[in-house]
Amino acid sequence: MAANSDADKDPQTILSELRVDIDRIDADVHRLLMDRGEIINRLIAVKARQGGGSAFRPGREAEMMRRLAERHRGPLPLDTIESIWRIIIATFTYVQSNYSVHADISGGDAAMRDAERFHFGFTVPYVTHHGAAGVIDAVARSSGDLGMFRIDGGVTAGPWWTRLSDPAAPKIIARLPFVERPDHPAGMPVFVIAKPLADAAAREIVLYCLHLERWRDGLPAAFAKTGGDIIGNAADETGLSLLVAMPVKAGIDGVNTALAEAQVIASRINEVGSHAARYSFNGHAAS
């Protein structure tokens, strides 16, 4: 309805017409969500004929969220739109294949619960653990659950990433929040883990577990030169373990270049997951 056509109308008439438009839009949104549900039913049937497969597709999900942020306009906060779409995606994934989200609350329950509810809603069961190890073990035992824990691993986690080194162990599949902004309502950085995904992983950033004899002060700068970042470091049974994030274009060659630059030898290097590059609201990807 054109704004200038309201000038000659009674305000109550205008309000009534606007409410009719809102009801129409609400009905359309509901109908489209039900239509989406019917498509999911067809998707489930097709996957069953193919022998199944993971319901989680982090790469596709990241691309959907990028498009959402890029096209968003108007007074409705991006926070609301992002959460609505996250819950739609998470809930329809749950419809495809029931799963739970296991969360480490050793660093506090409130922020972790906010992160889980913002990204997964209330339909997906939320199971708490006191430590990253409990989350990793629960996901490993499950048929298809997810795990969440703070990127810093909580209070006394130690080198939790070493538990992801075995090829059959759970792997990091996402880093949340994905759409970066300073005032994000669920802004605590968390990793999401799942059992290894065959073909659906997002691989813009690859994460490695490195076992070193000892720390050298030149390590952060050496990794920064190759585009990498040391996410965590902690003592383990072999000396020192690092969790390193590298752009996929740098990969393992970038890791080896950084180690050579810092004059450090790694006894073992294991890939422990990957995720999409974070997306800043100003349109630029972050590492």
- What is the Cα 273 distance to its own chain's centre? 12
Residues 215 and 241 in one domain: yes
Residue 46 lies in a domain: yes
Which residues, 6+ apart, have CB-to-CB distance to 32 below 8 Å? none
Q: Say if CB 259 and CB 208 are below 8 A apart.
A: no
* pLDDT above 50 (res 285): no
Instruction: Answer with the one of 202, 232, 258 that is the final residue of a domain.
Output: 202
Alpha-carbon distance of 123 to 72, in angstroms, equals 26
Q: Which of 202, 219, 254 is the last residue of a domain?
A: 202
How many distinct structural domains can be found in the chain? 3
What is the domain-level CATH number for residue 235? 3.30.70.240
Q: Would you say residue 281 lies in a domain?
A: no
- Domain assignment present for residue 282? The answer is no
Task: Indicate the residue among 178, 202, 226 that finishes a domain.
Answer: 202
Give burial (CB, 10 Å; 0-12/13-18/19+) of 273. buried
Residue 258 in contact with residue 222, Cβ under 8 Å? yes
Is residue 243 domain-shared with residue 125, that is, in the same domain?
no
Widest CA span of the chain, in angstroms?
A: 80
Is residue 97 located within the same domain as residue 163? yes
Is residue 2, in this structure, part of any structural domain at all?
A: no
Residue 54 clears pLDDT 60, i.e. is over it = yes
Length of the chain: 287
- 153 within domain boundaries: yes
Listed ranges 199-213, 250-264, 272-286; the one with the highest mean pLDDT: 250-264
Return the pLDDT at 283.
Answer: 42
* Buried/exposed 23-37: b ≥16 CB within 10 Å, e otherwise: eeeeeeeeeeeeeee
- Whether residues 168 and 268 share a domain: the answer is no
Residues 171 and 84 in one domain: yes
Q: What is the tens place of the pLDDT at every residue in 84-104?
A: 999 999 999 999 889 999 999
Q: Is residue 245 part of a domain?
A: yes
Q: In what helix (H) or strand (E) does residue 170 lie, and over which residues does it extend?
A: none
64 and 197 housed in the same domain: yes
- Identify whether residues 191 and 69 lie together within a single domain: yes
Instruction: Give this prediction's pTM.
Output: 0.88
Residue 104 belongs to a domain: yes
Domain extent for 148: 58-202
CB-based contacts of 30, cutoff 8 Å, min separation 6: none
Q: What is the pLDDT of residue 171?
A: 96
Q: Is residue 221 situated within a structural domain? A: yes
Task: Report the distance separating Cα 204 and Cα 221, nearest Å.
Answer: 21
Instruction: List, for residues 162-185, the tens digit of each pLDDT value.
Output: 999 999 999 999 999 998 888 888
126 with 254, same domain? no
User: What are 7-17's pLDDT values in tens digits?
Assistant: 778 888 899 99
CA distance 228 to 206: 10
Pair 62, 38 in one domain? no
* 127 lies in the same domain as 188: yes
Residues 115-153 pLDDT 10s: 999 999 999 999 999 999 999 999 999 989 999 999 876
Specify whether 96 is located in the same domain as 197: yes
| 24 and 43 fall within a common domain | yes
